[in-house]
Every structure is written in structure tokens, then in C-alpha cells.
Structure 1
């Protein structure tokens, strides 16, 4: 895989633990999103946030004008860079085609791209990561109409802190042939985003099969090996141990083995579950090579949401319960109405939780939503689903059968969903937010 042009690291040379550091960053993201109004000030013209803030001022949320006046940037260096970039004339070598999207947004996009290329101005990776997150939050990644961006994949690799992967490692997995999950994979890949012409035009089914099959081999290799069958002498010792009082058995070296054998305890991690094909699709669509997509997808399912790919999918079911609980906190009337109709999240939000909303078109908006989720934590997908329900509340209240409306969510609007998510995250209690962070583990 071609190494990204950026070379600055995002973690200290001797981190305590990658998982611990990632969890701390997620908790810090909650604090930033709960106290910062950077996005709110820039999206106050959004219809969703205006409607929501107007209807909820009585519930304690400040109005958009008050939030805009209270907005202050904490880092003056980035402000200075913005003013200098605005004052400096564009050079001929870096001039890009003009886009009629507003000078402010165009400037932010240029700053984001330059930041990825040059790294943090002061050379501090920690402060640079926070500034990078702010740029993602306050502006969209510059992309064409199909959602393609030359630097988005590098942004994801940085935000998830994934090192370059040798191409030979991926090819070695491909050359192993069919994995034990190959038949299940082939049964799902042809249906992956079948109605999305953008995905079908860019990603072939063959590449999707190769990547999922390689991930299945990788997960298969990481599963614990089965224990060898005890020999005759050890079997007799264990038979004697069965008749030993439990207090003595616990002090015997065979106690752990006997308990494991009697209970048949094995790892319940699957090497493929239905839905992984849809979760994998945006990675392949945005990546510049299969190796990049493989590195991102394998990291994501093993580090960010291993609970989503277990045989029982317990992480997904926890996420569904969290959707209901968060909706009760943010929109109690809407939650009560849905519950009175027997409509809990497990009936309509399962695909959205499992795939991080990748099941809802259009795909370019999914990519913009994932920029935000990778910057501040994929656990915020729970609140993104709640935000979509809030945007649908008028239709839900007017319908005697909300299940018909919730069968398919309206097309994604990443900008409005992100703006609304930043608004409602302030209402989530810390203990509930901690459950959101850990629900997919």
C-alpha cells in the first residue's frame, strides 16, 4: 500500500495501550462536543437544527443566536492561519477549479487538505489531531458529486491510527483460497448495495469477495486453537477430579481445564456474519486500493466493533437498546409514541446500527457521515440514528402505522444529521454515554 504523504505520528512513542488511548480519546470527544459550539455556529442556518432548537428552548437548550455569540475558538494559531490563508493570493501551482459552494467552505476544505499534506504547523501531533478533528467537524471533506476525494482515505487512516500495511501480507491471504466462510460470503456479496449505481460502477463483486474472504482468514487465524484430547492417564486423573470436593478442585491445576471442557466454552467470535458485506462497502468505495480497504475494515471490526461480528451480535443488540434509551432522554414524547405502537429499535434500526448507517443512501452522504464518526468515535452512530428519527418525527406522529415509515429511512443528509447530533449529545448523561462507548466491544 502506498504510504500516505503525511508522516507525522498521532500517538506518543510509547503509548500505554492502543485500546486505552482510543477510549480516552472518545471520552474527550464527548467533552469537546458537549462544550464546543463550533459546528453549531456554522450550521445555524440548517433547517433541522433550527427546528430542533426552536422547539426545545423550553427544555433548557440555548437558542442558535445565543450559541453563536458564545462561540470562541480556543486555538489562536489556527485562526491566524485562516486569516493568512484568506489574505494570501492563490498560487498558480495549487489553484483548483472554482466551486460555487461559498468562499468560507472552500477555504475550510483547502485548509483540511493542506493540513493533511503538511501536518500540524507547530509539529505537535496531539494538538494536530484535535485541530484535524475540528476541521472535519466544521467543514466537509472536499469531494466530487460521486463522493470521491483524493485524500479522504488518508484522513480515515490517520483518525483511526492505522499504520501502512505491506501489500504482500494481503496477497498472502488472497492466495490461501477459499476460507471456511466463503459460501456465506458469496451468498451476500451480489446483494451488496445492489440498487446503488455509484457503488456498482466503482466496486466489483470480485473485489468485495476477495476482501471479505481475506478478513475471514485473518479472523480464523486469530481464533483460539482447540485443545488436544486428554491422554488416557490424564483422563483418569480428571475422572478422579470429578469426585473431588469443589473447594479442593479449585486449587488443583486441572480445575480450569475441567471447567472449560465440561462447559464447552469456546470463543463465540465469528469469521463472517451477515451484514459485514454492507459495512465493508464504503471502505472499498473510498479506498484507492484493496489493501487500504482491508487494513481499515479489519481494524474496524476487530478494534472498534468486535461485538458486532460475534455469532450472537450482542454488540448490535446493545446498540439497539441504547437507541431506545437515548431517544427517551432526547425526545420522550416521540419515544413514548413509538413504544405505544410496539415500535422498538430492534424492529427498525438493526441495519443502521450494524452498518453505521451505510444501508441508507446516498453513498456520498454516508462517506461524509463516516468522516465525522471516525473523528469523534463510531459510537456516535447511535445518536445519528436518533437524529434521523427526530427529523422524521412529524411524519411519525401523523401516521397511525409508524412501522410503514420506519421500514426505510429518508435519504441521508450528513450535514444536518451531524449538526443535530452535536446538539443532542449535550443531553446524554455521562453514564449513558460511557455505555455507548463500550457497547460494541
Structure 2
């Protein structure tokens, strides 16, 4: 740091020769804040009396600049100046010493070009063709991955999931009303699970707090509890918003291949009498929603819709949907990889012994989390039932290791790290080998 100015320093001798260190060296080793504070204290102690009593002159904030403004050599209008140690440096040399600022990047810069997937989400389907737009959206998910950083974060992934699952906007007040109700009947069970949710994943721990996970699961538990008991906690404002959405965007009823027209309703057609308020494993299934969402309300809307519409069988008391999925894993593996299946069955290794977490959580239990998000892009585009074949694909990737191991149970304690691209490619190939009746069982197993 430059030596302390002499005690005779006053506003009249600001033109003293510069110190041996130049302004460039000072700027290199001292921040503007350090210089500012040091000269503010000096000028505050040795400031000469002034007849000007205006607030701008008497404030301590302007004191380092007042000395220069009162100097006879100050002929320029008052502006932000250099430090006093740099007073004698000429303007031309100061220009050469000041580094140029890099040009600011704008939204239209090179490298910020939006992908076709993002453009479709932003602009909507061409000519208002919702059905055609959804088909194109699914194809783009399959052909080109969602743009994301190394942490798996994407600015538009959550909107992609909302569009693919056809989830309307949820009023924030509806979520807050559930949160403000306090502890649900499943609160103790939730607290016993949340602290160990993806406990070894630093990305998840850095972005999602346990408090956020507790709030969301507790709100969902209240929602399921109300559905079971036949009560409702929705406010009139939320019901009005639901009606407005129904008027503005009427649902399109498409004829199914069987000729039957499905019932259209805004509530999931689920019998909640046997639905559990909370089952172990829901915390892990909820985790990717919270990680990818931009707010808890979005995560709540997605998670609640998913467990009540897409896989209500997973949250029933007996979890019969999960057990059906495990049997389907064995049947599909026996069909596409008979040698591997025969070897596992001979060792007593059925899917219920090693694949229960993968079925229940849609492979969210297998790291890394960014690859889980890419896999979920595919599952939400073409159906969560394909998770059964994604598990079979993971077993095929481990095929050689399993066949060489005398104890495959040790190998299957933990699957290989997820590689969404390879698993999706293999799953697409496996679909062609699945008979129609077995495929339909896959579609219906979680209902």
C-alpha cells in the first residue's frame, strides 16, 4: 500500500509530485473501496473550513472530492475524480492506464441461440394445433436433449413437464392455505424420511432444503387426506380460477383407438378411499420435482398430479402398483434377455429384491441427478410406464458383470450410474419386442 500522506496534507497542495508507485500499481493492489475509505478519514480530520454549508458539501461522503473541487487547479466541472495520489498524472496517460470494459452481451448474441424445443415452448404450437404441437414436442425431447448446465438446470424444463403432463397453473394461495394448516396426520412419518432424501447428492443438498421438502410433502398429505375424507380446503378464488381455465381453454376430447371417449374432468378419476396419505419413498420421488422447479408451487402441482393421476397405485396402502411393476420387470427381462433372466432367477434374484426403489421413484434413487432429469424428460413425453423398460435397460448394461458374478445380489445392490442417453436409446429398441398385451399391462400397472 502507498505510504501515508504527510501531516501537512491539505486541499491546497493536491498537485504534489506523485509517489513512486503509479496509479496503475495502486489500482492493481488496492480496491476502490479501500482508497475511498482511507482518504475519507484523512480529509475528515484535516478538512479546511468552508463557507459553503449546502448538504452536498458538508456530507462526509463527498469530502474526498471537496478538496479537489476547492483547489485553484480544479477548472473542470465537479465529477467523479481520481484518487489524490494520482492528481498530477496527465489526462492522456490516465486514458492509457484505464482498461476498457468488455462489451455487454445482449439477448441476441451468438451462443445464446434458442433450441427448437425452447422456441416451441415459447411460441406455442404453429397455427394453434395443440395435438400436432405436442407430437412435435415429444419428438424434440427424444431427438435432442433438453439444454441444461452441468448441474442439470434448465430455464424451461419445468415448463416442458407442465406442458407434457397438461397441468394448468395453480394459484399460490391454494398451496399456501395447505402449508398454513400446519402438521398433517403424516407429519411424523415425513420427518423420519426427509433428512435422508438423496443425502449423498451434493447438487440436491445445495439447491433444496429439508424445510422445503417437508412443506411440500406435508401439503400433499393434507390434499390426500381431504380427498380421502371427502372434505375440501380450496378457496372460492381457486375454484373461480379453475372455472376460468375451463372456459378459456376447453379440453379437447379425442376418440380412443377402442372407440370409447374418455371422461374429461379436472380432478383425477381416482378412488382415494384406499390411498395412503404418505408412503415411504414419496420423499425421493418428490425430490427431482423440487430440484427442477422454479418454485414450490410448481413442484407441488407436478408432484400431486403425478402421484394421483399417473401412478395412484404407487401410493395405495399396499402399494400394489409397485408390486405389479416389479413382476413386469421380471417378465420383460425374461422376454428380451432370457439368458440373463434365467441366471438371476436361478440365484433367487427377482426384481422385488433389487428393483423396488427404482420402480417406486422412477429411477430417481440412482445418481447422478442431472441424468435423472433427462430420463424424466423422456418418461413424461412418452409415458411413465416406460420406466419398467428403463430398469430392464439398466440390467442389460450390467449384463456381463452380472453373468460373471457368483453372487449377483452384491452387484445389484447399486446400479451403474445413470446414462440417460444410452438408457433411452435401449428402451426405444426394447419397445418393439414387447407384445401389445404386455405393453398394455405396463400402461395400466400403476393406475
Fold in common (TM above 0.5): yes
1:388 aligns with 2:394: yes
Q: CA deviation at 1:225?
A: 5.2
Who is 1:67 aligned against?
Answer: none
1:159 aligns with 2:164: yes
Alpha carbons 2:227, 2:272 under 8 Å: kept = no
Matches within 5 A, 1:292-311: 292-311=298-317
* Cα separation, 2, equivalents of 1:423 and 1:266: 36
Who is 2:338 aligned against?
Answer: 332
- TM-score, normalisation: structure 2: 0.66
* Cα separation, 1, equivalents of 2:156 and 2:285: 21
Q: CA deviation at 1:266?
A: 9.4
Who is 1:127 aligned against?
Answer: 132
- Cα distance change, pair 96–176 in 1 and its aligned pair in 2 (3 A): farther
* Cα separation, 1, equivalents of 2:394 and 2:107: 42
Who is 2:184 aligned against?
Answer: 179
Q: CA deviation at 1:123?
A: 2.2
1:268 aligns with 2:274: yes
Q: CA deviation at 1:269?
A: 1.1
1:280 aligns with 2:286: yes
1:199 aligns with 2:198: no
* Cα separation, 2, equivalents of 1:297 and 1:266: 16
CA-to-partner distance for each residue in 1:153-190, whole Å, 9 max, x for gaps? Answer: 00000000000000000000000000000000000000
Give the structure with higher Rg (CA): 2
Who is 2:426 aligned against?
Answer: 420
Q: Which runs of 4+ in 1 moved over 4 A?
A: none
Runs (5+) with no aligned partner, structure 2: 1-104, 232-270
Question: Higher relative contact order by CA 8 Å / sep ≥ 6: 1 or 2?
Answer: 1
* Cα separation, 1, equivalents of 2:110 and 2:192: 44
Runs (5+) with no aligned partner, structure 1: 1-90, 99-106, 227-264
Matches within 5 A, 1:110-125: 110-125=115-130
SS at match of 1:428: coil
Who is 1:354 aligned against?
Answer: 360
* Cα separation, 2, equivalents of 1:270 and 1:437: 22
1:378 aligns with 2:392: no
1:95 aligns with 2:109: yes
* Cα separation, 1, equivalents of 2:305 and 2:108: 34
Alpha carbons 2:197, 2:284 under 8 Å: kept = yes
- Cα distance change, pair 143–160 in 1 and its aligned pair in 2 (3 A): same
* Cα separation, 2, equivalents of 1:148 and 1:96: 21
The alignment covers a number of residue pairs equal to: 304
- TM-score, normalisation: structure 1: 0.67
CA-to-partner distance for each residue in 1:218-245, whole Å, 9 max, x for gaps? Answer: 000000459xxxxxxxxxxxxxxxxxxx
Who is 1:261 aligned against?
Answer: none
Who is 1:234 aligned against?
Answer: none
Q: CA deviation at 1:127?
A: 0.5
- Cα distance change, pair 300–266 in 1 and its aligned pair in 2 (3 A): closer
* Cα separation, 2, equivalents of 1:225 and 1:132: 37
Q: CA deviation at 1:120?
A: 1.8
SS at match of 1:385: helix
Who is 1:149 aligned against?
Answer: 154
